């Protein structure tokens, strides 16, 4: 599954991965609806808020919600309300319509927002990789990004990182293939402790 905002470069990458489900982030969709409401009715007016709440509910719960939102914006254009702003938001909905089936995605158990992933990225990646004065090469950065999730999830010891016999399942697989698990180099335990301290 892929969930993202409307950035074209993000979708070019995500769709190259051929996800089963591709969905525009629901809050992003709601922001575009609000922009259309503000353009048509004026910022934060009672009429605009009522229009927005109704369209947002339909978009979230109705399998044909994206089409109904498009129709509602077309209606605003016919009435001549906030033509330029409504036209801009209508174009966004038309361009992303195939990625706006929130009702079906939620019914299937998928997340309809990217907030959890963004928060995880901030806690797991950004706070570690963007500290003051740090510079990362590709290999060093990837090494940290491989180990950090194991440390933060409590799975470091079970992953068998640098310690013979730490992960029984990989050891059994190696033995079945006629191979032995490599013994840790001298000082490996100390290195593991240093990695843990730096990544917590």
Tell me the pLDDT tens digit for each residue of 66-103.
999 999 999 999 987 778 899 999 999 999 999 999 99
Backbone angles phi, psi at 24, to 5 degrees: -75, 135
User: What are the residue boundaries of the structural domains of the chain, listed by start?
Assistant: 2-107, 135-198
CB hemisphere CA count around 197 (13 angstroms): 6
> With 0-12 CB in 10 A as exposed, 13-18 as middle and 19+ as buried, what is 199?
middle
Q: pTM of the prediction?
A: 0.65
Q: What is the pLDDT of residues 153-195, one digit of tens each?
A: 877 777 765 554 444 555 555 555 555 545 544 555 555 565 5
């Amino acid at each position: 599954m892929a969930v993202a905002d409307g950035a074209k470069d993000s979708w070019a990458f995500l769709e190259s991965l051929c996800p089963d489900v591709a969905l525009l982030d629901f809050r992003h969709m709601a922001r575009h609806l609000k922009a259309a409401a503000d353009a048509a009715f004026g910022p934060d007016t009672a009429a605009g808020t009522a229009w927005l709440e109704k369209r947002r509910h339909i978009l979230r719960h109705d399998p044909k919600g994206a089409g109904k939102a498009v129709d509602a914006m077309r209606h605003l254009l016919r009435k001549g309300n906030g033509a330029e702003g409504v036209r801009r938001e209508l174009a966004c909905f038309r361009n992303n319509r195939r990625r706006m089936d929130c009702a079906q995605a939620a019914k299937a158990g998928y997340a309809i927002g990217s907030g959890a992933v963004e928060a995880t990225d901030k806690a797991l990646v950004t706070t570690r990789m963007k500290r003051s004065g740090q510079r990362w090469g590709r290999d060093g950065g990837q090494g940290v990004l491989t180990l950090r999730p194991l440390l933060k999830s409590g799975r470091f010891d079970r992953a068998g990182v640098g310690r013979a016999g730490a992960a029984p399942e990989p050891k059994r697989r190696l033995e079945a293939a006629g191979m032995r698990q490599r013994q840790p180099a001298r000082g490996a335990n100390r290195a593991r402790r240093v990695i843990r301290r730096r990544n917590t």
